[in-house]
Copies of this chain bind each other. A is one copy, B any other.
Amino acid sequence: MRNIKLIIEYDGTNYCGWQKQKNGISIEEMIEKSIEKILKEKVELIGSSRTDAKVHAKGQVANFFTNTRVPAEKICNALNSVLPEDIKIIHSEEVSKEFHSRYDSKGKKYSYLIVNREVPLALYRNYAAHVKYDLNLGNMQEACKYFLGEHDFSAFRSTGSSVKTSVRNIMLLELIKRDEFITVNIEANGFLYNMVRIIVGTLIDVGRGKIKPNEIKDIIQSKDRKRAGATAPPQGLYLEKVYY
């Protein structure tokens, strides 16, 4: 058996998310079906991150085991020829049998796009969150500092996943503003369920003046989900990169 690693880009707009579900079409099953079509073999895809419905990826990673003799580098183009237009494989390679895209991940990078203006979005409606309130970027940037480092992020996760620990280490959290676009870049050794979207929702509350920057410290310590902001909408979120 050979172990094949894929790097995947997708537009999550029309999917129920990465993971297979009863009520919708998942990205995972679209890729599995395409692999079956190309390699004439049923495989089980292991994804690094279970992105939610409408969430996008530029660098999702997945792996699968196969008996095929097709060269690993050629699997990329072959899959792209049968995949739907909103899912494309960026890269394919053979890796050691021990490689597991989820368990071996050492960290991940996400970005989140906000469009800050009064008028609703036409062009970016599926690719950004719309915030119509005036946002104080300086306050949001100050708040970012309090998230950095190793903390128990229980206040910043949704129920619905079972993980051993809710301690995570955020290495990067920055905001970049260009005209009406605010990009949030965040990197950590791992993320709890909905953690990025709740952090972004909380930063938006800081920007609106509902939360003071230095309150973030207390909110983290409280481990109380109700004290953090709302979960920001999925369509602004991009899985950028998975580190191994």
Contacts and interface: CB of A to CB of B under 8 A. Distances in A.
Contact of A122 (B76, B87, B122, B127): B87
A123 B9 contact: yes
Nearest to A12: B123
B80 A119 contact: yes
A143 interface: no
A10 interface: yes
Nearest to A125: B85
B123 A58 contact: yes
Interface in A72-112: 76, 80, 85-91
A88 B122 contact: yes
A148 interface: no
A208 B51 CA distance: 37
Contacts of A122: 9-11, 85-88
Interface size for chain A: under 10, 10 to 19, 20 to 34, or 35 or more residues? 20 to 34
A120 interface: yes
A11 B125 CA distance: 9
A89 B119 contact: yes
A157 interface: no
Contacts of A87: 122
A90 to B, nearest CB: 5
Contacts of A89: 119
A58 to B, nearest CB: 7
Residue among A9, A11, A119, A122 having the largest count of chain B Cβ atoms under 10 Å: A122
Contact of A119 (B10, B56, B76, B127): B76
A122 to B, nearest CB: 4
Given A56-B123, A89-B119, A91-B119, 20 more contacts: A9-B119, A9-B121, A9-B122, A9-B123, A10-B122, A10-B123, A11-B123, A58-B123, A76-B119, A80-B119, A80-B120, A85-B122, A85-B125, A86-B122, A86-B123, A88-B119, A88-B121, A88-B122, A90-B119, A123-B127
The 3 tightest CB contacts between A and B, nearest first, are A88-B122, A9-B122, A11-B123
11 contacts: A9-B121, A56-B123, A58-B123, A80-B119, A85-B120, A86-B122, A86-B123, A87-B122, A88-B120, A88-B121, A123-B127
